[in-house]
Amino acid sequence: MSPRVQRLRGLVRKEVLQILRDPSALLIAFLLPFILLIINGFGMSLDAHRMKLAAVVEAGAAPTRAIEQALDASPYLSVYWAPSGQAARRALDTGEVRGILTLRQDFAQKLERQARWPAVAQLAVNATDPNTARLLQGYVTGAFIVWLQDVAKERNLSTGGGPVLETRFWYNPELRSTDFIVPGVIAMVMSMTGTLLTALIVAREWERGTMESMLASPAGMAELVGAKLGTYFVLGMGSMAMSVLITVFVFGVPLHGGLGALAATAALFLVFALAQGLFISTLARNQFVAAQLAFITTMMPAIMLSGMLFDIASMPRWLQLLTYVFPARYFVAAVQTLFLAGNIWSVLIPNLCGLAIAAALTVAATLAITHRRLD
Amino acid sequence: MLARVIALIIKELISLWADKKTRYVILIPPLIQVIIFANAATYDVWRVPISVWNEDLGSQSAEYIRGFSYSPAFAPAPDVFSPAQARQVLESKTAAAVLHIPQNFSAYMLSGRAAHVQLLIDARRSNTALLIGNYAAEITAAYAARLNPAAAPPVDIELTNLLNPSLESQWFILPGLVVILSLIMTTLVSALSLAREKELGTFEQMLVTPLRPAEIMLGKAVPPLIVGLLEANIVLLAALILFRLPFKGNLPVLELCLAVYSLTGVGLGLALSSFTRTQQQAILGAFVFIAPAIVISGYATPVDNMPRAVQLLSLIDPIRYMLVISRGMFLENLPASVVVAQSWPMLLIAAVLLSGATLMVRRSIS
Sheet arrangement for strand A77-81: A77-81, A51-57, A99-103, A119-126, B155-162
Assess whether pLDDT exceeds 70 at residue B98: yes
Q: For the residues of B210-228, what is the DSSP string, one character each?
A: S--HHHHHHHHHHHHHHHH
| Residue B37 included in any domain | no
B315 and B186 together in one domain: yes
Q: What value, to the nearest 5°, has the Cα angle with vertex B289 and ends B30 and B196?
A: 75
Residue B365: band (very low, low, confident or very high) from pLDDT cuts 50, 70, 90: low
B187 plus B149 within the same structural domain = no
Based on the domain organization, do B272 and B142 belong to the same domain? Answer: no
> Same domain for B254 and B208?
yes
Bond from prior residue into B49 cis (ω within 30 degrees of 0): no
Structural domain contains residue B113: yes
Looking at this predicted complex, what is its ipTM?
A: 0.78
Residues of B in contact with A201 (CB under 8 A): 280
Predicted confidence (pLDDT) at residue A330 exceeds the cutoff of 80? yes
Q: Of A11, A30, A34, nearest to A235 (Cα)?
A: A30
Measured between beta carbons, which residues in chain A are less than 8 angstroms from residue B291? 35-36, 39, 192, 299
Other Cβ atoms closer than 10 A to A116: 12
How much is the pLDDT for A244? Answer: 94
CB A240 within 8 A of CB A298: no
Mean pLDDT of B116-134: 86
| Residue B56 and residue B190 in one domain | no
B148 and B201 belong to one structural domain: no
pLDDT of residue B344: 94
State the pLDDT confidence band at A76, using cuts at 50, 70 and 90. Answer: confident
pLDDT at A245: 94
Instruction: Write down which residue in B135, B162, B189 finishes a domain.
Output: B162
pLDDT tens digits for B4-54? 888 888 887 887 777 776 777 677 777 888 888 888 877 777 788 999 999
pLDDT at residue number A347: 85
* pLDDT for position A160: 59
pLDDT at B323: 94
Q: Are residues B342 and B227 in the same domain?
A: yes
| Weakest mean pLDDT among A129-138, A213-222, B107-116, B140-149 | A213-222
Give the number of other CB atoms < 10 A from CB of residue A17: 10
Q: What is the per-residue pLDDT across B162-205, written as a single tens digit (0 to 9) for each?
A: 888 888 888 888 999 999 989 988 998 888 888 888 877 887 77
Chain A residue numbers with beta carbons less than 8 Å from the beta carbon of B288 are 31-32, 35
Within-domain flag for B244: yes
**Is B308 an interface residue toward A (CB < 8 Å)?**
no
* pLDDT value of position A184: 86
Q: Is residue B10 part of a domain?
A: no
Residue B349 lies in a domain: yes
Do B230 and B311 belong to one domain? yes
Q: What is the pLDDT of residues A183-195, one digit of tens each?
A: 888 888 888 888 8
- Interface mutation vs chain B, best among A288, A322, A324, A348, most B CBs within 10 Å: A288
Residue B255 contacts A where some CB pair is shorter than 8 Å: no
Return the pLDDT at B81: 93
Which residues in chain B (92-151) have CB-CB distances under 8 A to chain A?
Answer: 92-93, 96, 105, 108-109, 111-131, 133-134, 136-137, 140, 143-144, 147-148, 151
> What pLDDT score was predicted for residue B352?
94
The domain total for chain B is 2
Report d(CA B284, CA B286) in Å as an integer. 5
Which chain A positions have a beta carbon within 8 Å of B144's beta carbon?
161-163
In percent, how much of chain A has pLDDT > 90?
14
With the C-alpha atoms ordered A112, A117, A118, A120, is the resulting torsion angle positive or negative?
Answer: negative
Whole-number mean pLDDT of chain B?
86
Do A187 and A302 touch, CB atoms closer than 8 A?
A: yes
Residue in A49, A162, A180 closest to B147 by CB: A162
Residue of A nearest to B281 (CA): A24
If one counts every other C-beta atom within 10 angstroms of the C-beta of residue A20, the result is: 10
Considering only alpha carbons, which residue of chain A is nearest residue B292? A39
| Enclosing domain of residue B220 | 169-365
Q: What is the CATH number of the domain that holds B142?
A: 3.40.1710.10
**CB contact, 8 Å: A91 with chain B?**
no
Residue B22 lies in a domain: no
Among A76-90, A135-149, A240-254, the range of highest mean pLDDT: A240-254
- Give the residue from A18, A1, A26 showing the smallest Cα distance to A196: A26
B285 and B361 in one domain?
yes
* Contact in structure between A259 and A342 (CB atoms under 8 Å): no
Q: Give pLDDT tens digits for B297-350.
A: 988 888 888 888 889 999 999 999 999 999 989 988 888 888 999 999 999 999
Instruction: Tell whether B39 is covered by a domain.
Output: no
Q: What is the dihedral of CA A143, A149, A155, A158, to 10 degrees?
A: 150
Q: In this predicted structure, what is the pLDDT of residue B152?
A: 66
Q: CA B267 to CA B318: how far, in whole Å? A: 11
> Could you tell me which residues come within 8 angstroms of residue A176 by beta carbon, excluding any fewer than 6 positions away?
A47, B126
pLDDT tops 90 at residue A354:
yes
pLDDT confidence of residue B55: 92
Provide the residue type at A177 as one letter. S
Strands (E), chain A: 51-57, 77-81, 99-103, 119-126, 162-170
Rg (CA), chain B: 28
Size of interface A-B (CB pairs under 8 A): 328
Residue that terminates a domain, selected from B162, B194, B223:
B162
Which of B162, B182, B216 lies at the terminal end of a domain, its last residue?
Answer: B162
Residue A375 has pLDDT above 60, yes or no: no
**For B260-275, what is the mean pLDDT?**
91
First to last CA, chain B: 21
Instruction: Give the model's pLDDT for residue A372.
Output: 61
Q: What is the mean pLDDT of chain A?
A: 83
Total number of residues shown for chain A: 375
What was the pLDDT predicted at B321?
A: 95
Per DSSP, B103 falls in state T
Q: Which of A374, A367, A215, A192 is CA-nearest to residue A294?
A: A192
First CA to last CA distance, chain A: 33
Sheet holding A162-170, edge to edge: A162-170, B114-122, B97-101, B48-54, B74-76
Model confidence at B219, pLDDT cuts 50, 70, 90, reads: confident
Q: To 10 degrees, the CA torsion angle through A84, A85, A87, A91?
A: 140
∠ CA A281-A287-A291, nearest 5°, is 80
From chain A residues 303-332, the ones with a CB under 8 A of any chain B CB are: 303-305, 309-311, 313-316, 319, 322
Q: Decide if B188 contacts B288 (C-beta within 8 A).
A: no
| Same domain (yes/no): B359, B220 | yes
Indicate if B265 and B125 belong to the same structural domain.
Answer: no
Residue B337, in any domain of the structure:
yes
| B251 and B325 both lie in a single domain | yes
